[in-house]
Amino acid sequence: MTVSDHSDPGTRDPDALIRRAGNRGNPDFDQHFLVDDRVVDRIPGFLPDDADTSHVLEIGGGPGVLTDRLLAVADHVTVIERDPNFAAHLREEFAEAVDAGQLTVIEGDALEVDLPDFSACVSNLPYSASSEIAFRLLPLDKPLVLMFQKEFADRMASEVAADEYGRLSVSAQHYADVEIVEYVPNTAFDPQPAVQSAIVRLTPRDPDYEVDDEQFFLDFVKAIFTQRRKTIRNGIRNTAHISGLDDPAAVVEAADEEILRRRAGKVAPREFAALATLAADHGITDGE
């Protein structure tokens, strides 16, 4: 019997998978493996009911705990795994799925490799790269179920005026509806991380506002939130080197006084979009 015959997809024991992988997770390399099978069993079900599961992407497969569950619900799974030992383990552990064309293992960095044409992504992301990976995925307009550090998830899902509301909230919600579907204690992992975690569902949708230049909008939001304790007026004036404005004074002159007196944490995404459009119209002179 080969290792891939241990059990049907969706039933492998997390601890046994880690043992067969032959090396424990290394916290120094952001390797914290989900070992609570009750949690891992629920994760694929957090995809939207109408999600296309014909090709599910997983980033950071590790020993294959989540991979096993995804193979039970998806027609095809592609795993991107940076660690060559775990990539080899995944190919051996799930050899039958690989041979049947149901599993593809890509060895490499998820921020550098070409992503496949996936239909949905379900992943327990490495915390050190979670922001960069999330914002590589979000513009692709695919449903995502991603595990983050709790504080990161709270900021991503926060509403305007809440303590956690910030650049991350505006940027993520520009692309998707953001829902925290489950908080996960550190005891669900081995080795245990120092922080709590959260599973976030990101359902793509168009925002309820329009922006002419998406990159400028995101840069403008980033710039203003670097001065979140200052008024919008001072934020515009002080961050032209980040936002790319040529004439921040002209933007201040053109903007409504009411919004200029506020601070970034009190400005809703729709208002940021309108302000960014005004800033581009009045504050960018290159090429004129």
Q: Was 81 annotated as part of a binding site?
A: yes
Q: Cβ(103)–Cβ(80) under 8 Å?
A: no
Task: Measure the CA–CA gap between 262 and 179, rounded to whole angstroms.
Answer: 27
Residue showing tokens 């515009």: 236
Phi, psi angles (nearest 5°) of residue 30: 65, 30
Task: Measure the CA–CA gap between 188 and 37, rounded to whole angstroms.
Answer: 9
Q: Was 238 annotated as part of a binding site?
A: no
Residue showing tokens 């990159």: 215
Q: Was 32 annotated as part of a binding site?
A: yes
Question: Alpha carbon of 214 to those of 23, 174, 217, 227: distances in Å?
Answer: 43, 10, 5, 21
Give the residue ranges of DSSP H helices in 138-239.
150-157, 167-175, 214-225, 232-238
Would you tell me how many other CB atoms lie within 10 Å of the CB of residue 179?
16
- What is the rounded end-to-end Cα distance, in angstroms, of the chain? 71
Q: Was 109 annotated as part of a binding site?
A: yes
Would you tell me how many other CB atoms lie within 10 Å of the CB of residue 128?
11
Q: Between 214-225 and 269-283, two packed helices, what is the crossing angle to 10 degrees?
A: 110
Phi, psi angles (nearest 5°) of residue 32: -125, 115
Binding residues for S-adenosyl-L-methionine: 32, 34, 60, 81, 109, 124
Q: Which residues are annotated as a binding site?
A: 32, 34, 60, 81, 109, 124
